[in-house]
Every structure is written in C-alpha cells, then in structure tokens.
Amino acid sequence: MEKNINISKDAYDRNKVRLPKGKYKYVYPWQKKDGTIVYQSYISKYKWSKYFSNEKDAAIGVDKYLIEKGLKPINILKSI
C-alpha cells in the first residue's frame, strides 16, 4: 500500500546549499550547484514546505498558508 505523495524534485535535491536568511520570516534561500537560487517557504510547526522561484512569491506563499490555518499573515499580505 504505497501512498502517492506529490513532492517537488527540489525537496529531495541533495545538490543544494543553504544561503544566509533573507528578509522574510519562514523563507529560506537555497543555491543549486548549477548556480540558480530557489526559495523555500518552510513552517516547521505545521511541517509545511514549498519552493518558489523568487523571494517575494515565497513570502506570499507563507502568508496564504497562515491565512488558510486561520492565522494573521506576517510577511507581505495585510489582514483586514
């Protein structure tokens, strides 16, 4: 009984190096061996992670996830 889990290739790519923390909370930059940089949105409390091509999209992704959980956004989006 195998579970079908949708995980991006970036999640298991061992050829990445973590860069110093960016300016948004829960957003971490990673540099691949080919020189490209990807941004990981990661909230350890919920064991949630997703990769984005730029830092701003990653920060918005964190905010959207927090809104789904019923919490206030902390990076870019504003609560009403």
| pLDDT, tens digit only, all 80 positions of the chain | 444 444 455 555 677 888 888 899 999 999 988 889 999 999 999 999 999 999 999 999 999 999 999 999 999 988 77
- Looking at residue 55, its pLDDT comes to 95
Range of the domain at 49: 13-68
Residue 55: inside a domain: yes
Residue 51: inside a domain: yes
Residue 34: inside a domain: yes
Cα separation values, 2 from 6, 8, 11, 13, Å: 13, 18, 19, 22
Residue 26: inside a domain: yes
- Looking at residue 11, its pLDDT comes to 55
Cα–Cα distance, 18 to 25 (Å, whole number): 15
Cα separation values, 29 from 4, 19, 69, Å: 27, 5, 24
- Looking at residue 18, its pLDDT comes to 80
Residue 50: inside a domain: yes
User: Cβ distance 52 to 62 under 8 Å?
Assistant: no
- Looking at residue 59, its pLDDT comes to 96
Count of structural domains, the chain: 1
Residue 4: inside a domain: no
Which amino acid would we find at residue 65? Y
